[in-house]
Amino acid sequence: MTTAWTLTRSLDRIRLLGDLTPGDSNLDHQALRVEVLAEVGRIVPFDAFVWPLCDPVTATGIAPRARIPCPEELPLVIRLKYVSLPARWTGLAASGAQATTLLHATDGDLSKSLLWNGVLRRYGIADVLSTVFADKHGCWGWLDLWRRDGQDPFSATEAGYLADVAKELTPALRRSIARQFEAIKRDKRRLPDDPVATLPNGDKGRGELPPQAVLTLDEEMAVVGETASTREWLELLQPGPRPYQAVPAEVLNVAAQLLAREAGVDDHDAAARVHIGSGRWAMLRASRMASAGYGSTPPLAVTIQECPPAARLDMFARSFGLTPRQRELLELASTGASTAAMAEIQGTSAYTVQDQFKQIFENCGVRSRAALLAIALGIVLGAPGTSPQE
């Protein structure tokens, strides 16, 4: 039996892992999740897991990590996860429960879960322990642990432990998203105008992004059509597992969220902002094609384009944990408003505005409004004609 002292020590170790994410640490959100899963597994044994991050506003999955016994059924797993109501991460976030088991959420009748009924039971999964990573700034991810038949169901103690893990880890996950906004500075290690030079973190350089792409998917979420620029965009997204390595899971996630909306399971938008390297972000959005020419069930359409500035600023403000007034100042600064104008809009003094900016600079690791806007808007410092003005 796991003792209270063992649980406390484990949470202490997870807290230390989370504290490694700021500053110069190389522990990004991928490495952080690997380390946390190793620690969680010492306390809560599991046979498989699914752990995506989320767009904080839409709660749609991005940057997934997973180890499941059925990768060949990935589109079905994702689709059924989104349209299954019991233990859904958005419901956990809304209720404040933070963690629960599938057995508890279905009152012991697992067939109430479309995911279990359609997939998990065929692979001998007897229970799922689910948690959500959410705070006042948004929903940053969710984690499902799967346990096979022949083992005890997840206990209330294990669910409570995972809820405590979520409380400790949520700020660290949010900060790890914030680190992806770091502006790419030109240095002597790569050619200043080479758009595809490999950077130290493995990202590619900042050439022009492709034009908007559109993929069409059928009801089983198989790709049935695409526009000319689609392949270029898909190469910038995280590849899926075999045999779906050519279809990033983010595409399947936004499509599945649209199906959840249509089914009345969840009302968040079917959209997600996805980091694609070098401080750049893409916007993915799913919609239903018009019915003309498609028969009774028109296909789903997933569009991929560069993230618009307003949506990028929103992600930046949330991930850095800015207060509403600090966020308003950031948005005003992005329009070129002066300190005096900002003070008038906020009904305060210029000195108060300057003090607020000092706090923002400290939170975001910059020293000027120019550097702040460069990171928030994705401008490469040092590129001719691109540095924002004070």
CATH of the domain spanning 322-377, picked from 1.10.10.10, 3.20.20.70, 1.10.287.70, 1.10.3720.10: 1.10.10.10
List per-residue pLDDT tens for the chain, 390 residues long: 678 999 999 999 999 988 854 444 456 899 999 999 999 999 999 999 999 999 999 999 999 999 999 999 999 999 999 999 999 999 999 998 889 999 999 999 999 999 999 999 999 999 999 999 999 999 999 999 999 999 999 999 999 999 999 999 999 999 999 999 875 443 333 323 333 223 333 344 556 899 999 999 999 999 999 999 999 999 898 887 777 777 889 999 999 999 999 999 999 999 999 999 888 999 999 999 986 565 678 999 999 999 999 999 999 999 999 999 999 999 999 999 999 999 999 999 999 999 999 999 999 999 999 999 999 998 765 544 444 444
CATH number of 213-311: 3.30.450
For residue 75, say if its preceding peptide bond is cis, omega within 30 degrees of 0.
no
What CATH class does 4-181 carry?
Answer: alpha beta
Question: How many Å apart are CA 289 and CA 296, to the nearest integer?
Answer: 11
Yes or no: say if 349 and 342 are a contact pair by the CB < 8 Å rule. no
Which residues neighbour 357 within 8 Å (Cβ) at sequence distance 6 or greater? 329, 369, 372
What's the CA gap between 162 and 87, in Å, rounded?
Answer: 14
* Confidence at residue 284, expressed as pLDDT on a 0 to 100 scale: 98
Which 3 state secondary structure label does DSSP give 126? strand
Please report the DSSP string for 38-74 in residue order.
HHHHHHS--SEEEEEEE-TTT--EEEEEEE-S-GGGH
How far apart are the C-alpha atoms of 78 and 83, rounded to whole Å? 9
Considering the chain, tell me which residue range(s) the CATH 3.30.450.80 domain(s) occupy.
Answer: 4-181
DSSP string, 168-205: HHHHHHHHHHHGGG------TTS-TT-TTPPPTTS---
Q: Is 294 helix (H, G, I), strand (E, B) or coil?
A: coil
CATH code 1.10.10.10 region(s) in the chain: 322-377
Q: How far is CA 47 from the centre of its chain?
A: 24
Q: What is the pLDDT of residue 23?
A: 47
Q: What's the pTM?
A: 0.89
Per-position DSSP letters for 313-360, written without gaps between them: HHHHHHHTT--HHHHHHHHHHHTT--HHHHHHHHTS-HHHHHHHHHHH
DSSP code, position 246: T
